[in-house]
Amino acid sequence: MEEFLPEDEATADARRRGHEVGAVPIGAAGGAALRFLATLIGARNVVEIGTGCGVSGISLMRGMPKDGVLTSVDVDHENQRLAKLAYREAGLGSFRTRMIVGRALEVLPRLTDGGYDMVFCDAVKTEYPEYFSAALRLLRPGGVVAFDNALWHQRVADPAYRGDAATEAIREVHHMIREDERLVPLLIPVGDGLLCAVKRD
């Protein structure tokens, strides 16, 4: 499943750099799913929480129209520098991105309510519930929120696994999304899991 759509050289290089600096990127199949979702909803304005080294950003922008803008938030300036390099190598112009260095929970309140088509979350796992709350405010009706690492190394689905703050936070987001009647949820079993939901009109 991970190899169904081979990655090009720019994405493979971004993935390698991500592993080298400890910013583990979304898997190849998860990246393909992000591109598919962005294309499906015609996403022009996307928020990415956790820039990494550019793998997910490449996937998202390739699914967006040519004038779409990715707003990418990361606390690490070096991650964003490497992501910009990846975007250049992928032929994606700098006008396609708005890069913001800072803690997501401090940056997200400054973004426009209802101004975004998609929010992708792949940063501090213990902050996933807060990202979810922010995403609901940021998304337009019909917009999509997606969380990487939704299976968290198979720990989330194992009821016997306890004591890990990241696992508990991801489980909380699963519950929040399943129980929220404003959403249509889906768990896509690619890579380490991609938890998605559409915000109803």
The domain ranges of the chain are 9-199
Strand segments, DSSP code E, in 3-138 are: 45-49, 69-74, 97-101, 116-121
pLDDT at position 160, please?
82
pLDDT for residue 157: 84
Residue 162 confidence class, pLDDT cut points 50, 70, 90? confident
Reading the block at residue 88, the tokens are 């250049």
**68-89: per-residue pLDDT in tens?**
999 999 999 999 999 999 999 9
Tokens of 24: 């583990």
Reported as a single tens digit per residue, the pLDDT across 102-115 is 999 999 999 999 99
pLDDT for 5 equals 78
Q: What is the pTM of this model?
A: 0.95
List, as one string, the DSSP characters of 175-198.
Answer: HHHHH-TTEEEEEE-STT-EEEEE
CATH class in words for 9-199: alpha beta
Using CA atoms, how far apart are residues 164 and 123, in angstroms rounded to an integer? 16
